[in-house]
């Protein structure tokens, strides 16, 4: 293994003075792993289709980088999308995409693993492949090209990208990525054709090979069936999930970037999964059930991370930190240990209740940041519809506790366009904002600095494998109308921000899309689409032109309610949660009925534990009582 500092020139050295943030392209950071390629059998390029600062904040990529580099027969290196100015210089000089650790062209790697976190990065996926010098379409690659592998949340409906991907991993990658590498090694040694590799990958549980499946359509354009083309390929692919976290290795020497990243801190994953059951939330389905890391191990990992990185903040990462059964104990231990060292603790995902505020108050003895609550909806009726099990009393107690504990910066997240929403629900958002301001005045009794209140509003996007996968997204005209209605009711002194409804519309198209969208995606990319998640680079007109050129009506994908019997493009890809259960949850939503968290109540019958053979975390004391 070579030293983990930068000792060699990169292919980009001559152009780095011409671009913004050249440290994105240097490599050689502290804790980066650099191996002699002559000593390994498989070169794995871990690609994130975003800029360096975003990709380096992704915990899943850190974990896979660690897992793969533990193997003596694998060299895993990182690849990110260059920013606009860097890409222009690269294309002008005929420079392809190179990996950070070695500066080796990505086209010379054996496997390119792409993280699919967000539908609006799909144009970046194509741009990344093109910059690497690879054929975009999988059927144009041969045994001399890298295997293009993908994973992540969007892997649960990869159909719009099916023509571009060789294989897709469903679920958690720590175990299955080794099985993929082993299959690749066997194939490489056997010297067989690319078809043999794809067939062997399809035999691995949790691995989906799109080219081995055929999609048939009804005359009305809906999917009739997705079926294997050849014998031996499973008709349904079931996601992979780790049975437990307590005995799993963890990356305690993560790379320390030269520049500030989106999440510039050490991260300890305290548990995985969530069973709160918010009906719009895909993560709550695809990461079930809850599996916790023991409190002693969390403390040990935090100590090791600080020592290996020098970070002054440790984030306790999860989908809902205050749901961790030992959160009070762990928080107290880490704060007591970190105060003297100036190391702060952050809880990035808290519920909107007083317990979470008190918890945040305890962990922010080193430094206090703003608080964020996500009521999601403005009325109790609509919160019941989405199964957001937070009452108005919970919210009121939370903000009052925050103000008593010294917070004066608060952010509230809401969604508009949720199923059954009407204008009184929008009035409820404005009323909730006024109640928060009134609570601040009451607690401060006219004294103290002014409240800094921010409100962020995002359009609802129906996601696959959720109870709302049958629901339509509101028409753009109606979303804009509701945005304007709400804007007029929120006081000007409150900072109000919006997610672009046009961008959310395109997101919904691809979230609910099928393989036929590939042509529209490629046309948009050829027309300049890239970094579509960045508002300054997103062009609604470009996407509408691409859909029209490909012969698609995007509203058919985004704005159409689906009947129960419709076959979805993703039905052959299983999370472990049954489709019948999701439909039952949709019916309960329309009745305004709540479904309790199975950690603290009876099993609701989602099916994931039996289907995946997992044992969930159950029987803990209610959150806030410790364990």
* SS3 assignment for 399-464: HHHHHHCCCCEEEEEEEECCCCCCHHHHHHHHHHHHHHHHHHHHHHCCCCCCCEEEEEEEECCCCC
DSSP assigned state of 25: G
Residue 425: phi and psi, rounded to 5, are: -70, -35
Token look-up 């950071």 returns 29
Condensed to tens digits (0 to 9), the pLDDT of residues 230-281 reads: 999 999 999 999 999 988 899 999 999 999 998 889 999 999 999 999 999 9
Q: 122-131 and 518-526 helices cross at what angle (nearest 10)?
A: 60
- DSSP conformation letters of 279-301: TT-SHHHHT-S-EEPPHHHHHHH
**Exposed, middle or buried: residue 333 (CB in 10 Å: 0-12, 13-18, 19+)?**
middle
Token pair recorded at residue 224:
């009739």
User: Residue 47 contacts by C-beta under 8 Å, 6 or more apart in sequence?
Assistant: 78, 79, 80, 106, 112, 113, 114, 115, 128
Closest C-alpha to 337, from 353, 314, 368, 316: 314
Q: Which residues pair with 98 in a beta bridge?
A: 105
User: Cβ(521)–Cβ(480) under 8 Å?
Assistant: no
Distance CA 88, CA 105 (A): 18
* Pairing mode, strands 237-238 and 573-574: parallel
User: Residue 96 contacts by C-beta under 8 Å, 6 or more apart in sequence?
Assistant: 90, 105, 106, 107, 131, 132, 133
Distance CA 125, CA 87 (A): 14
What is the model's pLDDT at position 367?
A: 62
Closest C-alpha to 580, from 597, 600, 565: 565
Peptide bond between residue 289 and the one before it cis (omega within 30 degrees of 0): yes
User: Residue 14 contacts by C-beta under 8 Å, 6 or more apart in sequence?
Assistant: none
Q: For the chain, list residues with pLDDT below 50.
A: 1-7, 619-627
Closest C-alpha to 239, from 174, 171, 176, 173: 171
User: Cβ(314)–Cβ(265) under 8 Å?
Assistant: yes
What is the model's pLDDT at position 620?
A: 44
DSSP assigned state of 48: E
What is the model's pLDDT at position 96?
A: 94
Closest C-alpha to 614, from 576, 571, 581, 580: 576
**Exposed, middle or buried: residue 46 (CB in 10 Å: 0-12, 13-18, 19+)?**
buried
Contacts 24+ apart (CB under 8 A), 615-619: 615/243, 615/244, 615/289, 616/273, 616/275, 616/288, 616/289, 616/290, 616/291, 617/271, 617/289, 617/290, 617/291, 617/292, 617/325
* Element at 542 (helix H, strand E): helix 540-549
The HSE-up count of residue 543 (CA atoms within 13 Å, CB side) is 24
- DSSP conformation letters of 97-155: -B-TTT--BGGGSSEEEEE---GGGHHHHHHHHHHTT--SSGGG--TTSPEEEEESGGG
**Exposed, middle or buried: residue 225 (CB in 10 Å: 0-12, 13-18, 19+)?**
middle
Q: How far is CA 319 from CA 200, 248, 309, 350, 453, in A?
A: 34, 19, 24, 8, 24
Condensed to tens digits (0 to 9), the pLDDT of residues 298-308 reads: 999 999 999 99
Distance CA 616, CA 173 (A): 19
Distance CA 463, CA 308 (A): 38
Q: Which residues pair with 344 in a beta bridge?
A: 313
What is the model's pLDDT at position 627?
A: 27
Q: Which residues pair with 371 in a beta bridge?
A: 410
DSSP assigned state of 16: G
Closest C-alpha to 237, from 156, 164, 175: 156
User: Cβ(452)–Cβ(409) under 8 Å?
Assistant: yes
Q: What is the model's pTM?
A: 0.94
Distance CA 524, CA 528 (A): 7
């Amino acid at each position: 293994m070579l030293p983990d500092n930068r000792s060699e020139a990169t292919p980009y050295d001559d152009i780095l003075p011409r671009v913004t943030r050249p440290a994105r392209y240097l490599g050689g950071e502290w804790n980066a792993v650099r191996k002699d390629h002559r000593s390994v059998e498989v070169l794995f390029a871990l690609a994130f289709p975003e800029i360096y600062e975003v990709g380096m904040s992704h915990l899943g990529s850190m974990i896979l980088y660690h897992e793969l580099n533990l193997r003596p027969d694998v060299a895993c290196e990182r690849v990110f999308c260059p920013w606009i100015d860097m890409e222009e210089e690269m294309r002008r000089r005929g420079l392809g995409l190179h990996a950070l650790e070695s500066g080796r062209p990505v086209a010379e790697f054996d496997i390119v693993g792409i993280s699919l976190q967000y539908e609006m990065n799909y144009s970046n996926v194509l741009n990344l492949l093109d910059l690497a010098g690879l054929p975009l379409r999988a059927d144009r690659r041969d045994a001399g090209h890298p295997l293009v592998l993908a994973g992540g949340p969007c892997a649960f409906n990869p159909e719009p990208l099916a023509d571009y991907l060789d294989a897709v991993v469903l679920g958690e990658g720590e175990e299955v990525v080794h099985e993929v590498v082993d299959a690749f090694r066997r194939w490489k040694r056997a010297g067989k054709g690319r078809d043999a590799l794809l067939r062997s990958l399809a035999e691995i549980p949790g691995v989906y090979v799109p080219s081995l499946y055929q999609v048939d359509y009804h005359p009305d354009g809906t999917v009739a069936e997705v079926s294997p083309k050849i014998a031996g390929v499973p008709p349904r692919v079931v996601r992979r999930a780790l049975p437990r976290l307590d005995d799993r290795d963890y990356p305690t020497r993560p790379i320390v970037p030269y520049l500030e990243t989106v999440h510039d801190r050490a991260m300890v994953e305290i548990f995985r999964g969530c069973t709160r059951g918010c009906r719009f939330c895909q993560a709550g389905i695809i990461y079930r059930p809850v599996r916790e890391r023991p409190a002693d191990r969390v403390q040990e990992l935090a100590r090791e991370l600080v020592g290996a990185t020098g970070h002054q903040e440790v984030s306790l990462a999860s989908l809902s930190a205050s749901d961790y059964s030992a959160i009070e104990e762990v928080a107290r231990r880490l704060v007591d240990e970190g105060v003297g060292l100036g190391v702060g603790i952050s809880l990035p995902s808290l519920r909107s209740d007083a317990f979470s505020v008190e918890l945040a108050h305890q962990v922010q003895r080193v430094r206090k940041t703003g608080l964020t609550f996500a009521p999601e909806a403005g009325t109790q009726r609509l919160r019941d519809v989405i199964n957001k099990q937070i009452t108005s009393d919970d919210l009121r107690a939370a903000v009052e506790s925050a103000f008593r504990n010294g917070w004066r910066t608060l952010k509230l997240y809401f969604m508009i366009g949720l199923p059954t929403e009407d204008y009184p629900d929008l009035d409820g958002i404005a009323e909730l904002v006024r109640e928060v301001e009134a609570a601040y005045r009451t607690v401060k009794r006219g004294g103290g600095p002014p409240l800094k209140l921010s409100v962020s509003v995002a359009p609802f996007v129906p996601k696959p494998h959720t109870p709302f996968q049958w629901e339509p997204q509101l028409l753009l005209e109606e979303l804009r109308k509701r945005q304007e209605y709400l804007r007029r009711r929120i006081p000007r002194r409150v900072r109000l921000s919006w997610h672009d409804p046009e961008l959310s519309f395109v997101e919904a198209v691809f979230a609910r899309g099928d393989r036929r969208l590939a042509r529209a995606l490629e046309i948009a990319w050829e027309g300049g689409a890239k970094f579509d998640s960045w508002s300054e680079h997103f062009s609604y007109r470009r996407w509408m032109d691409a859909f029209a050129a490909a012969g698609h009506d995007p509203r058919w994908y985004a704005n159409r309610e689906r009947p129960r019997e419709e076959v979805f493009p993703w039905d052959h890809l299983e999370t472990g949660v049954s489709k019948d259960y999701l439909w039952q949850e949709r019916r309960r939503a329309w009745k305004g009925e709540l479904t309790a968290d199975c950690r603290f109540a009876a099993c609701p019958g989602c099916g994931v534990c039996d289907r995946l053979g997992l044992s969930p975390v159950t029987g803990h004391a209610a959150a806030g009582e410790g364990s």
